[in-house]
Structure 1
Amino acid sequence: MTTKISTADARKNFANIVNKVAYGKETIVLTRRGQDVAALVSIDELELIQQIEDHIDLEDAKLALAESGENIPAEEVWKQLGL
C-alpha cells in the first residue's frame, strides 16, 4: 500500500511515518506542491531493490562480455581508466 503525504506533514509526524514504513511495511511517497519528490520504503524493500539492480547489472556485464568476444584483465581496464 502506498500513501502520499506532503513534506510539511511528514516533518510534523516524522516518528509516526517512520514506524508505518519500518513496522507496517507501508510505502510513503513524499510530495511537495503536489509533485512526488521522494519515497520512504522499508529496509527490506530497499534491500530487494538493490538485489534486483545488482542482478540487472550482472546480466548487463555478462552480455557486454559476450558481445565483446574477449576478456580484458581488470588491471588493463584500470590502467585505461587511469586508476
Structure 2
Amino acid sequence: MTTLTRSIPSKDLRDSLADVLGGVAYGAERVGVTRHGKLTAVVISVDDLELLEELEAARDAAEFRAAKAADDGERVSLDDLRAELS
C-alpha cells in the first residue's frame, strides 16, 4: 500500500518543484508523480530513504542467515555446471 500525501502530474512537477521539495524535506510529505494518470515515481525525504535502506539491509541479512542455515555444504565445480547445462 502506498501512503502518499498528494500526487502531481509529471508535466506540472517542474513548476511546482520547490513546493514539492519543501513539503518533502520539511513537511514529512510523500509526493507521488503521475504520468498519464498512473503513479510512476515518489519523492520522499532523505530520512525515508535511509529507513528504506535500513529495512533492505535487514532483509538481506535475514535472507543470508536463512540461506546459510539451509546450506547442505554440497558444491558443484564450474566445469561440472557447464557440462550439466550444455
TM bin (shorter chain): 0.7 to 0.9
Could you tell me which residue of structure 1 aligns to residue 49 of structure 2? Answer: 46
5+ residue gaps, structure 2: 74-86
Question: Which among 15, 18, 21 is matched to residue 15 of structure 1?
Answer: 18
Equivalent positions of 1:21-60 (< 5 A) are: 21-60=24-63
Alpha-carbon distance in 1 for matches of 2:24, 2:57: 24
Aligned CA-pair RMSD: 1.5
Alpha-carbon distance in 1 for matches of 2:26, 2:41: 19
Alpha-carbon distance in 1 for matches of 2:61, 2:5: 30
Normalised to the residue count of structure 2, the TM-score between the two structures is: 0.77
Question: Which among 62, 69, 86 is matched to residue 66 of structure 1?
Answer: 69
Percent identity between the two aligned chains? 33
Alpha-carbon distance in 1 for matches of 2:65, 2:72: 11
Normalised to the residue count of structure 1, the TM-score between the two structures is: 0.80
Q: Secondary structure at the match of 2:32?
A: strand
In the alignment of these two chains, the number of paired residues is 71
Deviation at 1:11, TM superposition (A): 1.0
5+ residue gaps, structure 1: 71-83
Matched, 1:2 2:5: yes
